[in-house]
Amino acid sequence: MKTEQVDVLVIGAGPAGTVAASIIHQAGYKVKIVEKMKFPRFVIGESLLPRSMDALNEAGFIDAIKAKGFQEKFGAKFVKGDALCDFTFKEQYTPGWTWTWQVTRADFDKTLADTVESMGVPVAYETTVTDIRFNGSDSVTTIEDKDGNKSTIEARFIVDGSGYGRVIPRLFNLEKNSSLQPRKALFSHTVDTRRSMADEPNRITAVVHKKGVWIWIIPFSTGVTSLGFVGDPEFFAQYPGTDEEVYRALLEAEPYTRERFRDVELVFEPRVLQSWSATTDKFYGDGFVLTGNVTEFLDPIFSSGVTLACVSSQTAAKLVIKKLRGEDVDWEKEYMEPTLQGVNTFRSYVMAWYEGTLDTIFFKKDADPVIKGQICSVLAGYVWDMSNPFVKNHDTALKRLARTIELTEKLKSSSEIE
Ligand code: FAD
């Protein structure tokens, strides 16, 4: 069997894998990416956050992405009935990038993979990791190409950026159940000819359809718009018919989407994804680190997936370089804790969204601009800025604020009655 030697083997050529590969390669190490699919390939996750831009920049990807003409994104809008809450990233509390992109992931991920390949990192497509043997931190990985040819890769370190493939957690039984309840998404790409009915395309919209059920609207620069419904599987079960019939019935049932998307042309048959939340006990081990979705994926509501993938890979790549240079790395303190800090902040916001706490906050009239800026920072992905009280106290601050708003409203309406 053919054997190849590298410093670092990266599993997966999504945002997590390519960001890590590029940063480690730029430090002078021999890196190889193994990717199961042929690119371009479809993956969901089309709305980025400004915080991802710093990682994409460090990886050297910004110019290549810019050249693709993806839709620029400057904010996010939340809608519930007639109530509206518009966040513009320029209002964010934390200094940093205030814009990003809305991307078709097939094109975006191919751009990142082509760029890293042009830098000198080989990408083996249609090649799957089937086995890994560790000997201390050194490893021997067995891979299999599309014709069934097996070979091995000897590496000093492995970055697992295999996303939903979850290669290392699956091979080494590190899987853990998510704390979030299973949800389902039904989505498609639509030919959005009536887009001028909304103040788009340079932001995404999340529409509260019913408690626990919401819609994403992500316009692309091509005139196509990604639109998906997310909710409990039981919610979808009320609607009979094929996925397309259910999708069209839901578009008709929601006043915000009814006119704009009536009889809309679909680019592909609506697709279903469900029970996507997953995590693992440890994000690292002797000779490997997990990045991106393999660490933990929560929920699509705040578009956190690609940003967490890019930032975790940016952090991990620097630690891998340190380790290869023979320096000590405290993976718990330097990787697990900061990664969890980001994930846990978003987890609080995801839970607050489904509990309705964020409805109270988002749809309050005359929001305090300081608080709005601090929350806007979280929505832009700045979930490591501990000077922001809505990051530092993410698990309590939202509930406290919602309670204060509710009490003030109650007092106001009782004084009006008197
Ligand atoms: P991926 O992009 O999944 O890349 C992993 C790569 O590894 C894949 O190309 C795969 O083929 C490869 N691979 C897998 N197994 C193997 C193997 N054995 N050998 C070799 N290669 C392998 N995120 C956002 O930021 N914004 C959004 O708007 C958003 N919307 C979402 C909507 C839904 C319904 C869901 C479920 C998720 C959404 N996400 C969103 C999350 C987003 O999809 C992921 O967080 C993101 O793709 C993670 O990137 P990654 O690089 O970790 O993994």
Return the ligand 1 atom nearest residue 34 CA: 20
- Ligand 1 pocket list (CB less than 6 A): 11-17, 34-37, 43-48, 128-129, 161-165, 167, 185, 273, 276, 292-293, 297, 300, 303, 305-307, 309
Extract the tokens encoding 223: 């005139």
Instruction: Using the mean position of ligand 1's atoms as its centre, give its distance from the Cα of residue 163 in Å.
Output: 5
Rounded Cα–Cα distance for residues 210 and 102 (Å): 25
The 10s digit of each residue's pLDDT in 33-63 is 999 999 999 999 999 999 999 999 999 999 9
pLDDT value at residue 304: 97
Give the closest residue to 130 by CA, choosing from 109, 148, 117.
Answer: 148
Torsion of CA 57, 58, 59, 61, to 10 degrees: 20
Site to probe by mutation for ligand 1, drawn from 22, 38, 42, 44 as the one with most ligand atoms within 8 Å of Cβ, is 44
Give the closest residue to 102 by CA, choosing from 195, 10, 184, 20.
Answer: 195
Torsion of CA 361, 363, 366, 371, to 10 degrees: 30
DSSP secondary structure code for residue 276 in this structure:
-
CA distances from 382 to 79, 252, 283, 392 (A): 23, 36, 21, 11
Task: Let me know: does 118 contact 108? Beta carbons within 8 Å.
Answer: no
Q: What is the pTM of this model?
A: 0.97
Rounded Cα–Cα distance for residues 278 and 295 (Å): 8
Extract the tokens encoding 404: 């204060």
The 10s digit of each residue's pLDDT in 347-389 is 999 999 999 999 999 999 889 999 999 999 999 999 999 999 9
Expressed in angstroms, the distance from the first to the final Cα of the chain is 86
Low-confidence ranges of the chain (pLDDT < 50): none
Rounded Cα–Cα distance for residues 182 and 163 (Å): 18
Site to probe by mutation for ligand 1, drawn from 34, 73, 132, 162 as the one with most ligand atoms within 8 Å of Cβ, is 162
Return the ligand 1 atom nearest residue 306 CA: 25
Instruction: Using the mean position of ligand 1's atoms as its centre, give its distance from the Cα of residue 14 in Å.
Output: 7
The 10s digit of each residue's pLDDT in 73-86 is 999 999 999 999 99
Rounded Cα–Cα distance for residues 196 and 189 (Å): 17
pLDDT value at residue 417: 64
Instruction: Using the mean position of ligand 1's atoms as its centre, give its distance from the Cα of residue 302 in Å.
Output: 15
pLDDT value at residue 195: 93
Return the ligand 1 atom nearest residue 292 CA: 52
Instruction: Using the mean position of ligand 1's atoms as its centre, give its distance from the Cα of residue 268 in Å.
Output: 19
What one-letter code names the amino acid at 93? Answer: Y
Task: Let me know: does 13 contact 162? Beta carbons within 8 Å.
Answer: no
CA atoms within 13 A on the CB side of 331: 15
Instruction: Using the mean position of ligand 1's atoms as its centre, give its distance from the Cα of residue 73 in Å.
Output: 20
Rounded Cα–Cα distance for residues 126 and 105 (Å): 18
Rounded Cα–Cα distance for residues 416 and 405 (Å): 16
Q: What is the rounded average pLDDT for all residues in the chain?
A: 96
Return the ligand 1 atom nearest residue 294 CA: 52
ipTM: 0.99
pLDDT value at residue 410: 87
CA distances from 416 to 198, 361, 403, 407, 412 (A): 35, 22, 20, 14, 6
Extract the tokens encoding 243: 């996925």
Rounded Cα–Cα distance for residues 87 and 76 (Å): 5
Rounded Cα–Cα distance for residues 397 and 380 (Å): 18
pLDDT value at residue 198: 87
Rounded Cα–Cα distance for residues 228 and 248 (Å): 11
Q: Where are the alpha helices (DSSP H) in 173-301?
A: 233-237, 243-253, 255-261
Q: Which residues, including other chains, have CB under 8 Å from residue 333's CB and lie 6 or more apart?
A: none
CA angle 226, 90, 16 (to 5 degrees): 50
Give the closest residue to 376 by CA, choosing from 99, 88, 73.
Answer: 88
Extract the tokens encoding 339: 């990664």
